[in-house]
């Protein structure tokens, strides 16, 4: 009798374990293949705002009433949307985070991006004065729409004097089909964004004025909207040599067509993701300056790096003012127009 009960008990345990294994196997499979079953009605996004850290997103979150939240596997943060179909995400800082987050979002079949405009709205640094032909000086709080996005990191970077290039730089090949070193954005779309915002009265701040007053070339300057170009790299740097190198790289990768005025850490990767999914023609790159490339006269480079002066709040305000002006305009359009 005892043997019979033992056999029945072992059979019950075995059956339970088999059922549990089938159930957990299904769970693992479901978690490993998110978005496998395409929804009948994907969420058609009109404008998608790309920010990199929480401060850049705050003004949008304060004003745009994002009530819908989509958790996207592989993205650094959720996608937030409002009922007007304006969406936003925070990709994380640096190119790896930007590429991973954007690729995960673009591959998510819960979204329809066929008629979507994409706008990067993030902080950057800028030269307080032009240090190289074709480079354009910005100022703290100014914003810039880019025609060109170049990847600072690619190519050979040698010490000056080791090779014939005065900056020790040899650019990568740009003719390969899978080249990711330089992107020329949709010039008609960039020009539209600039003309919609060129005459906006941007905000200023006492902190920005005080920092500008340390530079003779910056005294009396006010924030403005520009149309000029951006270098994108994972490195952080300061100083005259690298300021000049930013334009030198821009020259070589754009055949002397680009005008460096900002430096960022994500946009070449964002552009790559958008290109791979077929949306690069719908992309706008807006950067707002919160720091300068070079120290003011009389301050050492090391002290400048240690002090690390930034006017982030001013940049956040003006990025939202400029970016939302274009976003709200584009909400009424489709990408076929």
DSSP code, position 296: P
Q: What's the confidence (pLDDT) of residue 36?
A: 38
Q: Closest by alpha carbon to 182, among 160, 152, 216, 138?
A: 152
pLDDT (mean) for 143-158: 98
86-90 and 79-81 beta bridge pairing: antiparallel
Q: What's the confidence (pLDDT) of residue 40?
A: 53
Look at 116 and 333; give whichever has higher pLDDT. 116
Q: What's the confidence (pLDDT) of residue 176?
A: 86
CA–CA gap between residue 307 and residue 82 (Å, rounded): 39
CA–CA gap between residue 79 and residue 68 (Å, rounded): 8
Write out the two tokens for 277: 């999914």
Q: What's the confidence (pLDDT) of residue 39?
A: 45
CA–CA gap between residue 94 and residue 243 (Å, rounded): 19
Q: Which residues pair with 118 in a beta bridge?
A: 48, 283
pLDDT in tens, 189-221: 999 999 999 999 999 999 999 999 999 999 999
* Three-state SS at 226: strand
Taking a C-beta distance cutoff of 8 angstroms, is the pair 288, 318 a contact? yes
Q: What's the confidence (pLDDT) of residue 27?
A: 29
pLDDT in tens, 230-288: 999 999 999 999 999 999 999 999 999 999 999 999 999 999 999 999 999 999 999 99
pTM: 0.87
Taking a C-beta distance cutoff of 8 angstroms, is the pair 124, 294 a contact? no
Q: What's the confidence (pLDDT) of residue 335?
A: 52
Number of neighbours of residue 261 by Cβ within 10 angstroms: 27
Mean of per-residue pLDDT scores for the chain:
90
Q: Lowest-pLDDT range, 4-8, 59-63, 261-265?
A: 4-8
Q: What's the confidence (pLDDT) of residue 334?
A: 56
Domains of the chain as residue ranges with CATH: 43-330 (3.40.50.1580)
């Amino acid at each position: 009798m005892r043997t019979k009960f033992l056999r029945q008990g072992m059979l019950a345990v075995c059956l339970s374990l088999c059922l549990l294994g089938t159930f957990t196997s299904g769970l693992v499979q479901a978690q490993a293949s998110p978005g496998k079953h395409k929804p009948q009605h994907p969420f058609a996004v009109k404008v998608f705002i790309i920010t990199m850290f929480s401060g850049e997103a705050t003004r949008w979150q304060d004003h745009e009433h994002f009530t819908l939240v989509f958790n996207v596997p592989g993205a650094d943060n959720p996608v937030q949307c409002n009922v007007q179909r304006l969406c936003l995400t925070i990709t994380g800082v640096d190119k790896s985070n930007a590429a991973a987050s954007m690729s995960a979002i673009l591959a998510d079949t819960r979204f329809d991006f066929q008629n979507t405009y994409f706008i990067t709205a993030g902080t950057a640094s800028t030269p307080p004065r032009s240090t190289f032909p074709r480079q354009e000086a910005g100022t703290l709080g100014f914003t810039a729409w880019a025609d060109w996005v170049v990847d600072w990191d690619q190519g050979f970077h040698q010490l000056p004097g080791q090779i014939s290039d005065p900056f020790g730089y040899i650019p990568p090949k740009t003719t390969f089909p899978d080249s990711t070193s330089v992107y020329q954005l949709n010039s008609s779309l960039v020009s539209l964004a600039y003309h919609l915002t060129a005459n906006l009265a941007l905000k200023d701040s006492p902190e920005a004025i005080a920092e500008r007053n340390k530079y003779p070339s910056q005294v009396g300057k006010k924030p403005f909207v520009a149309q000029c170009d951006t270098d994108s790299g994972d490195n952080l740097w300061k100083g005259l040599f690298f300021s000049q190198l930013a334009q030198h790289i821009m020259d070589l990768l754009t055949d002397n067509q680009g005008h460096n005025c900002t430096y960022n850490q994500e946009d070449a990767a964002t552009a790559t993701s958008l290109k791979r999914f077929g949306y690069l023609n719908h992309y706008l790159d807006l950067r707002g300056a919160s720091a300068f490339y070079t120290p003011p006269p009389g301050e050492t480079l090391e002290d400048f790096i240690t002090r690390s002066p930034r006017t982030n709040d001013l940049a956040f305000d003006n990025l939202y003012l400029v970016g939302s002006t274009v976003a709200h305009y584009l909400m009424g359009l489709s990408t076929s127009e």
